[in-house]
Amino acid sequence: MMLITNFDTFVENLLKCGFSMGGENDEGVFALSNYFDENIKWHTGEVDFDPWEWRIKVLEDRDDIAYAKLFFKKSGFISEAWYPYFLSARRKGKTFEEAFVDGEITAAEKRVYDVIASYDAIPFHEIKPLAGYSTENKTEFEKAITGLQMKMFITMCGRKRKTSQFGEEFGWSSTVFCTVERYFSAEVFEKANRISPIEAAEKIKAQILTLNPEANLKKVTKFING
């Protein structure tokens, strides 16, 4: 594994590995943070050397890497080449409606998904009121957002600040979401549909054990299946 000294070497390593936890905790599975050089520092705002900035930079600069809450309800990265395997393992060839009919999608998740699916992309702060949520039921809303990411029906696709009635931006940036179908090309889904869930899980597991032979097998299973 190449030492990660900046954003470019991070992307290079990620494309070779195929996936990674997003933070500093590898959860006993795998995280590229274990290969950060000492000059890599969190929350400095230096785009080339701050991993906190990289999570958005990959979404803004590239179209072959997904970033979302993907593993253990925490952030993670998956390359386009490996995304079909995770899609197969988690969605098992089902559309959103099929998964809902089969009881795999909660009513709250459907409310949130229906809003996101009606837009090309929509920021977090706009989804909440459109889905009928307020501060009183914010926990249910956030759980639905996380659940939809883990089930790989929505994904992050950028950030956007709030806009005042005068058209001026203010406050912190808000995460923008879109459906996975809008994020990746049809070829990704066609490939996923050609891979059986069992084959997909075996392929991912083999890659994990190549990257980390000491990976915790129970956690590997959870990492794969979500």
Q: CA distances (Å), 54 to each of 21, 136, 175, in order?
A: 13, 33, 14
d(CA 214, CA 216): 6
pLDDT of 195 > 80? The answer is yes
Provide CB contacts within 8 A for 106, sequence distance 6+: 144, 147
User: What does the block give as tokens for 199?
Assistant: 């084959």
Cβ(154)–Cβ(113) below 8 Å: yes
For residue 136, what pLDDT band results from cuts at 50, 70 and 90?
A: confident
pLDDT in tens, 35-54: 999 999 999 999 999 999 99
For 10-40, the pLDDT digits (tens) are: 999 999 999 999 999 999 999 999 999 999 9
DSSP letter string, 137-196: GHHHHHHHHHHHHHTTSEEEEEEEEEE-TTS-EEEEEEEEEEEHHHHS-HHHHHHHHTS-
Q: Which helix (H) or strand (E) holds 20?
A: strand 19-21
> Cα(105)–Cα(2) distance, rounded to whole angstroms?
40
Q: What is the pTM of this model?
A: 0.93
In 24-150, which ranges are E strands? 65-71, 74-79, 122-123
Rounded Cα distance, 159 and 175, in Å: 4
**Angle between helices 51-61 and 7-17 in degrees, nearest 10:** 70
Residue 161 pLDDT class (50, 70, 90 cuts)? low
